Amino acid sequence: MIKLRLVPLVLMLVFLLLTVFSGPAGARAGAGCSPKGTKTLAASPQVRLYRGPASQSAHGSTTLFGCLKSSGKTRRLGPSKGQGASMSGPFALKATWVGAIEDRRGGKGATQVFAAARDIQTGSAKRCLVGSTDQAGRLLAVRVLLIDAKVGALAWAAITPSATGRAPLIGVCDSRGNRVLDSGPGVEIETLELRGSTLSWVNAAGQRTAQLH
């Protein structure tokens, strides 16, 4: 009879132990992606991209981090150290990847613009010059940034000044290098889309596509 009375007590003790050891662990994983003093820039069910507090880096509040929500693992996205660099949008999220745009200011007012992305789960990173080397120093305004998480590639759409006042550019950075796919006043950068590893957009001649590798 005494043994039967002890059964409910044992079950209650097991329940309390499970609550103590499993509850806070789950809370810690979620809390790891929300450190104090940070600002969310973009988020998905898998990752959070945020701006860190000024105290975390010599770059101050421009430092960007990505966090994997399932584990709380956090990795630094940028900007590059010692480059007079800063990071801004457009921001991109795909699976466990996060991405943003990095501006690096050199001497005599020259500026280089890079597309940067990182896989928060594996640590793999991609950082590519937007446009081409002969455009370095020209004022580029990136309007679209896309990430192909399957192959770790980036696609971007930007506008740069020209003799006509507007020069849209569409380019990619993948295993085949950094290259401009299309440019000119007929390019409609707002139509840029990525489905799987197939990039598509519209120019004056109609729809165009390219495969990322």
- Burial (0-12, 13-18, 19+ Cβ within 10 Å), 194: buried
Q: Is residue 41 part of a domain?
A: yes
Q: At 161, which amino acid appears?
A: P
Q: Is residue 23 part of a domain?
A: no
pLDDT of residue 98: 98
Q: Is residue 20 part of a domain?
A: no
Number of domains observed in the structure of the chain: 1
In this structure, the number of other CB atoms found within 10 A of the CB of residue 95 comes to 15
Q: Is residue 121 part of a domain?
A: yes
Q: Is residue 27 part of a domain?
A: no
Q: pLDDT below 70 — which residues of the chain?
A: 1-31, 54-61, 83, 107-109, 132-139, 163-165
Q: Is residue 49 part of a domain?
A: yes
Integer CA distances (angstroms), 27 to 23, 48, 80, 113, 121, in order: 6, 16, 32, 38, 19
The encoded tokens of residue 145 equal 């940034």
pLDDT of residue 17: 43
Q: Is residue 47 part of a domain?
A: yes
The encoded tokens of residue 29 equal 């994983």
Q: Is residue 124 part of a domain?
A: yes
Which structural domain, as residue segments, surrounds residue 59?
Answer: 32-211
pLDDT of residue 60: 46
